[in-house]
Amino acid sequence: MAHTVSEECIGCGACVDTCPVSAISLGETAVVDADTCIDCGACEDGCPVGAIKAE
């Protein structure tokens, strides 16, 4: 199960730095690669606006 990024994402990049497997890329907003995500939840904890949730 991967995590998804909601429209609340502000594109700050905090989640990119917290992901231990580099499953998150950043454009205008963050995008989680479901194939790489290990469902550890680090990105949820690292997001300052709560834009990342488990699917």
Q: How confident is the model over 22-53, as pLDDT tens digits? A: 999 999 999 999 999 999 999 999 999 999 99
3-state secondary structure of 18: helix
Angle at 40 between CA 53 and CA 46, to 5 degrees: 60
pLDDT band, very low/low/confident/very high, at 8 (cuts 50, 70, 90): very high
In this prediction the pTM is 0.87
Domains of the chain: 3-54 (3.30.70.20)
pLDDT at 2 over 90: no
Neighbouring residues of 21: CB distance < 8 A, sequence distance ≥ 6: 36, 37, 38, 40
Is 46 in contact with 33 (CB distance < 8 Å)? no
